[in-house]
Each structure stands twice: as C-alpha cells, then as structure tokens.
C-alpha cells in the first residue's frame, strides 16, 4: 500500500512501530502530489524543503522520546487562510498574492509543537467565500471523484487533497459549511467544532461570529485525534473557551445504544436529490437498528437560515475586509490620491464574489437599513438557536444530509450567486447557532459521487457526534472507497 | 422595494469599491435578487425577540497589563507595499 493512502491513526501506528519513518511518509505524500495535482489542483503552495526538515526532526524526536504525541511526523495540509510563518498565505486572493505570514496561527503552532509536518497550503474560495472552490483567484480545484465536478467549498483544496491521498489529513475552516460541504462532496470526514472550541487567532477573518477551525480526515478517529490537538483556550483569542478538552479518542466506543437522535422534518424537503435522501434515511435506519432511538423533530425556522446567514456573514465580512486598504500589506495600486489608491487597490485585489459580499454587507449595515436587515437577522438567528436548544433537551444529536445534492458540475452555479448560496442550506444553521457538526460518507449516487451525512451535536459535545460517526463508520464500508485518480 | 443603480453607487463608495458600468448593472440585478430573497424574513414576527449576540458563554478576559508578544517588525515590514527604514510609507493623507 502507498503510505500516502494511510489514515492518520494507521500512519501513526506505523511510525510508532518504526515500520515507516516520517521522512519516507512525507516523500510518499509529495510523490502522490506530483502524480495527481496537475489534475486535482488542490495546492496553492508546497513547503517541500521545510516539510522534509520537519519530518527529519520528527524522526529524531521519536528516537529520543518514547512517549511521542500522536501527530508526530504526520503530513498535514493546511487551507491557505491560516497564517504560516515565513510561508506565502494568500486566502486565494490577489490582494494577498505575495503575502508572507509574519507569525503562526495558534493552531499551526499547536501542530508544530505536536511534531506534525506541514505539507503545503490548499486552495479555497477567495476569503473562504463560496461553496465550490471556483472563486479562487488562482485556479479552481477539481473533485478527485470526477474532475468535471467541484470539490465543494470553501475548503475544497483541503477536502480534495485528503480524498486524493495528497496528505494524511488536513485543516479547514467553516463559516457556513466550508469544512462539511466539501468533505461530503469529496467522500471524507469533516468536523466543525463548537464556536469557541478552537482558537481563531491567526486565521484570516471572514465572519468572526461564525468562523471556526476543524479537521478534514479519511476516518472519524483521525478527526478525534486532530481535534484533541487543536482544541483548548488561547489567551490570544478572547472568544476561545476554557473548558477542558476531553480525550476524544476514548469516546469512540463503537456503541450507539441509548443515544437519542432527532431527525428534523424541515431538512427533508423538495430540492433534495433522491439519492441523498435515500442514503441518509438508510443511515438513520442503520443507527436505529444498532440501538439508537430515532424521533422526528421540528426546527421550524430552517427555511430562513440562508437569508439570515447571508446578512450576518456579509455584514461581518464587509467590516473585516475593510482592513485591505493597500497600506501596510497586500496589493497597493497607484491612485492620484489616497481615496483613489484605496479604491483601485480593492478593485484590482478582490474578485467578484468578495466584492458582491462586501457590497451586500455594507448595504445591510448602512444607515436606514440596519434595523430591516442586520437587526432582523440577529433576531431570527436567536430563534434558530433557541429551537436547537429545545431539540437538544430531548435529543443527544441531530442527523441530516450535509448538502442537498452531491458535487455539482464546474461552472453550473457560478452565474447565479443565490443558487450557490442555497447549496449551504443544511450547514449554515449550525454556524448561526455555534454548534458542532460533522459530515461523513454515507453512500454514493447513480454517478458514483459521494454523499455526506451531517451529525449535529450539543455545544461542546463533540465527543457524542464523534462516537456516533465512528460507530456508523465501523458498521459500513463507505470510508474505504477511494477515487480512481 | 427595488434596488437602484444610484444605491449601488452609494454603497460602492462607502465600501471603497468601484465598478464598470456593465459590472454595476449586473451587480444591481444580482443584489436585488438576493435582497428580495431576504425579504422572506419579514414573514416572521420578531417583536420582543432579543437579538442574538454570542453563541457561547463568554467571561470577561482579564490579564496583567504586560507585553505578551513581541511583533517581529522585520517580518511585518517585509509585506509593506512601500517602506522607508522601519516605517510604512503611505500616500499623502492630509492635503
């Protein structure tokens, strides 16, 4: 077996038993990238020399240190909106085309401290705004299962890299589904933790009240191991929460007996592909057969979530992206005065979707419209959160599809932003409410494209959704399927 | 309610963005369609609903007033579009 195809936990075992060195594993990953990335285009930047040096250090550390951490020597890909010191960090935007990160994001520092090897920076929709990775200013990433289809987005590069065995695991960010939807499109596992579970320090901000960092992996156990390394309070992020980080691996008992699962009736409506509905219903039936209790629940404001999200997220984005003024970093155009320099720098630096969202957010926050849009949206958001809280009084987890369809064709939705926004219909409520949720493979459609199931948990109860996902994974074989790339 | 070209121009100026006439026309149509979609929120009665503020419990974060990080001036200046010695160089701000 090609070592690049290993899961994180299997690679860890081979490294611990000295069957494999981190240098061999890292070389295997770069070989695989060399063989496949011309077609997939998952990476924006590779860090080969630094990665091989990290791999050597990891091998040396293992010789010295018997009790090595589980990520020691593991090659990991990172979405290009994480600051990585000394490495180009673009957010897939021309405005940051030459930007060299001056420091590490807290989660990157945690990965480095754990001895992980950072392979490279993966492609995304510019500033994480999109659901297909087509909004990258550089090039689109393709779905390893079918190169004519999108990998989902915005963490499309990370999800495609995991699916194509171009890394052992990856990091993404999720503001409205940007980890889970690409994970579903590419047939891998993606976990968005509770808001506040993982530090956002050094993550290039999109919508600060919803952005969250999480793992994209080949199997559920890998996500548990990565989350344990990433989670925890960070003094540099005042919204990170100081709750203890449980050993998530211990939650993976393989048993779902007694767990109460809610299935929201509003998520199974017209617009969903029949194959998706069938796969998710079958998955729920399997969990029920294995001892979980299933009940239909209601999340009555589900149909309003997309509207709420695209007001709140664009309002926050318009404010966050005001910093790109061409003064201290980023692209600066030559204007005849200061104002024209701002305008030209931003006009040349931002792509169409980013501009569209800045416009929408600026409009929603502008004088005379604030109450009608932003305030109204935050009120409905409070109701959406309340309905989740009520459901979780009698459910341990909620099960839904991750996306209404499998990966769509490239170019299919680029001309109609609203249609693109609606591909996030099942994921965005979770960000609005700050909950943890995971997507894992639960089948394939008639075109052999992967289908994802979403498991939503109570705040800070990642352990239960990992337990459920792992038990389902153990009972099925979807996670063992690989694209032929 | 229908979004006008003039409103798009006003918002573009606020956001320090600029569009060609063709872009502006297309953007007006697109934003109008999105805003119309958002009007569905008006079907909900939210009288008396406290707006959402934060997803999780947050306590005030206090710490000693002590420098905890020392920014690497060289690394920060390395990204400057223009600089002189240890300063960012920017266009004239006051006429």
Complex ipTM: 0.95
**Contact call for A375 and B51, based on CB within 8 A:** yes
A-B interface: how many C-beta pairs under 8 angstroms? 165
A22 is catalytic: no
A298 is catalytic: no
Chain A residues with CB-CB distance to B69 below 8 A: 236
Domains, chain A, ranges and CATH?
Answer: 3-259 (3.90.1300.10)
Query: For A383, which of B49, B78, B82 is closest by C-beta distance?
Result: B49
CA A128 to chain centroid, in Å, comes to 10
Q: What angle do CA A55, A59, A63 make, to 5 degrees?
A: 165
Q: Are strands A450-457 and A75-79 parallel, antiparallel or unpaired?
A: unpaired
* B29-56 pLDDT per residue, tens: 999 999 999 999 999 999 999 999 888 8
| CA distance linking residue A74 with residue A117, whole number of Å | 6
| CA distance linking residue A276 with residue A423, whole number of Å | 13
Count of C-beta atoms within a 10 Å radius of residue A90: 24
**Contact call for B55 and A380, based on CB within 8 A:** no
| CA distance linking residue A122 with residue A11, whole number of Å | 21
Query: For A343, which of B10, B16, B49 is closest by C-beta distance?
Result: B16
**Contact call for B81 and A329, based on CB within 8 A:** yes
The C-alpha of A420 sits at a distance from chain B's nearest C-alpha, in angstroms, of: 11
Structure tokens at A209: 């009240």
Interface test with A, best of B39, B41, B54, B95 (most A CBs within 10 A): B41
Q: Regarding predicted confidence, which is higher, A418 or B22?
A: B22
Structure tokens at B52: 């959402």
Q: Are A80 and A123 in contact (CB under 8 A)?
A: yes
Domains, chain B, ranges and CATH?
Answer: 5-43 (1.10.20)
> CB distance from B89 to chain A under 8 Å?
no
Chain B residues with CB-CB distance to A343 below 8 A: 16-18
**Contact call for A327 and B90, based on CB within 8 A:** yes
Tell me if residue B49 falls in helix, strand or coil: coil
Chain B residues with CB-CB distance to A341 below 8 A: 91
> CB distance from B17 to chain A under 8 Å?
yes
Q: Which of A22, A136, A178, A423 is catalytic?
A: A178
Enter the pTM of the model. Answer: 0.97
Chain A residues with CB-CB distance to B35 below 8 A: 360, 363
Chain B residues with CB-CB distance to A306 below 8 A: 37
Q: Which of A93, A131, A136, A154 is catalytic?
A: A154
Q: Which residues of chain A have pLDDT under 70?
A: none
Question: What confidence score (pLDDT) does residue B71 get?
Answer: 75
| CA distance linking residue A397 with residue A426, whole number of Å | 15
Alpha-carbon distances of A436 from A52, A159, A176, A278, A439, rounded to whole Å: 34, 18, 12, 24, 11
Query: For A434, which of B41, B51, B56 is closest by C-beta distance?
Result: B56
Q: Are A220 and A189 in contact (CB under 8 A)?
A: yes
Q: Among candidates A302, A234, A82, which has minimal Cα distance to A172? A: A82
A154 is catalytic: yes
Chain B residues with CB-CB distance to A236 below 8 A: 69
Question: What confidence score (pLDDT) does residue B55 get?
Answer: 83
**Contact call for B75 and A99, based on CB within 8 A:** no
Chain A residues with CB-CB distance to B42 below 8 A: 376
Q: Which residue has the tokens 């890292």?
A: A26
Interface test with A, best of B64, B91, B92 (most A CBs within 10 A): B91
**Contact call for A363 and B52, based on CB within 8 A:** no
**Contact call for B58 and A238, based on CB within 8 A:** yes
Three-state SS string over A203-272 comes to ECCCCCCCCCEEEEECCHHHHHHHHHHHECCCCCCCCCCCCCCCCHHHHCCCCCCCCEEEEEHHHCCCCC
Percent of chain B with pLDDT over 90: 67
Query: For B41, which of A328, A350, A380 is closest by C-beta distance?
Result: A380
Query: For A307, which of B12, B37, B53 is closest by C-beta distance?
Result: B37
Chain A residues with CB-CB distance to B44 below 8 A: 301, 304, 380, 383
| CA distance linking residue B27 with residue B7, whole number of Å | 11
Q: Which of A79, A121, A192, A458 is catalytic?
A: A79
The C-alpha of A19 sits at a distance from chain B's nearest C-alpha, in angstroms, of: 40
Q: Which of residues 45-84 of B touch A (CB under 8 A)?
A: 46, 49-58, 61, 63, 68-69, 71-72, 75-76, 78-82
* A215-249 pLDDT per residue, tens: 999 999 999 999 999 999 999 999 999 999 999 99
pLDDT band at residue B1 using 50, 70 and 90 as cut-offs: low
Question: What confidence score (pLDDT) does residue A421 get?
Answer: 86
């Amino acid at each position: 077996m090609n070592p690049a195809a290993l899961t994180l936990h299997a690679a860890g075992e081979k490294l611990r038993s000295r069957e494999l060195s981190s240098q061999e594993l890292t070389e295997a990953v770069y070989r695989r990238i060399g063989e496949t990335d011309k077609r997939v285009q998952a990476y924006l930047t590779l860090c080969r020399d630094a990665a091989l040096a990290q791999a050597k250090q990891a091998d040396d550390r293992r010789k010295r240190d018997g009790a090595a951490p589980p990520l020691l020597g593991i090659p990991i890909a990172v979405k290009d909106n994480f600051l990585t010191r000394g490495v180009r960090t673009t957010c897939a935007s021309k405005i940051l085309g030459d930007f060299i990160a001056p420091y590490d994001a807290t989660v990157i520092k945690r990965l480095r401290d754990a001895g992980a090897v950072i392979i490279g920076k993966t492609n995304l929709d510019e500033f994480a705004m999109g659901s297909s990775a087509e909004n990258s200013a550089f090039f689109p990433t393709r779905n390893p299962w079918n190169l004519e289809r999108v990998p989902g987005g915005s963490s499309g590069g990370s999800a495609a890299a995991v699916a194509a065995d171009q890394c052992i695991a990856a990091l993404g960010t999720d503001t409205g589904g940007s980890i889970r939807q690409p994970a579903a499109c590419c047939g891998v596992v993606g976990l968005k933790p509770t808001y506040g579970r993982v530090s956002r320090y050094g993550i290039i901000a999109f919508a600060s009240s919803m952005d969250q960092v999480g793992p994209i992996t080949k199997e559920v156990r890998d996500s548990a191991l990565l989350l344990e390394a990433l989670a925890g309070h960070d003094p540099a992020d005042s919204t990170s929460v100081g709750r203890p980080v449980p050993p998530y691996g211990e939650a993976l008992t393989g048993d779902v007996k007694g767990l109460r699962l809610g299935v929201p009736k509003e998520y199974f409506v017209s617009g969903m592909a029949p194959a998706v509905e069938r796969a998710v219903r079958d998955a729920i039936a399997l969990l029920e057969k294995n001892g979980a209790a299933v009940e239909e629940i209601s999340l009555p404001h589900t149909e309003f979530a997309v509207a709420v999200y695209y007001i709140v997220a664009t309002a926050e984005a318009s404010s966050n992206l005001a910093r790109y003024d061409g003064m201290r970093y980023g692209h600066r155009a030559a204007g005849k005065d200061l104002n024209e320099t701002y305008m030209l720098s931003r006009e040349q630096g931002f792509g169409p979707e980013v501009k569209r969202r800045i416009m929408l957010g600026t409009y929603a926050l502008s004088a005379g419209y604030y109450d009608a849009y932003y305030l109204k949206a935050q009120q409905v958001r409070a109701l959406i959160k309340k309905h989740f809280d009520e459901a979780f009084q009698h459910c341990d987890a909620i099960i839904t599809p991750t996306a209404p369809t499998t990966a769509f064709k490239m170019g299919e939705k680029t001309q109609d932003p609203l249609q693109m926004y609606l591909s996030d219909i099942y994921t965005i409520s979770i960000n609005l409410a700050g909950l943890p949720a995971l997507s894992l493979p639960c089948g394939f459609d008639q075109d052999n494209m992967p289908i994802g199931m979403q498991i939503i948990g109570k705040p800070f109860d990642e352990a239960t959704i990992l337990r459920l996902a792992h038990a389902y994974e153990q009972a099925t074989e979807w996670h063992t399927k690989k694209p032929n790339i | 309610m229908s979004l006008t070209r003039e409103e798009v121009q006003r918002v573009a100026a606020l956001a320090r963005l600029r569009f060609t006439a063709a872009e502006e026309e297309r953007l007006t149509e697109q934003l109008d369609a999105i805003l119309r979609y958002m009007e569905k929120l008006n079907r909900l009665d939210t009288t008396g609903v406290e707006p959402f503020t934060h997803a999780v419990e947050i306590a005030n974060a206090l710490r000693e007033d002590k420098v905890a990080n020392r920014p690497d001036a060289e690394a920060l200046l390395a990204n400057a579009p223009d600089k002189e010695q240890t300063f960012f160089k920017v266009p004239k701000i006051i006429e």
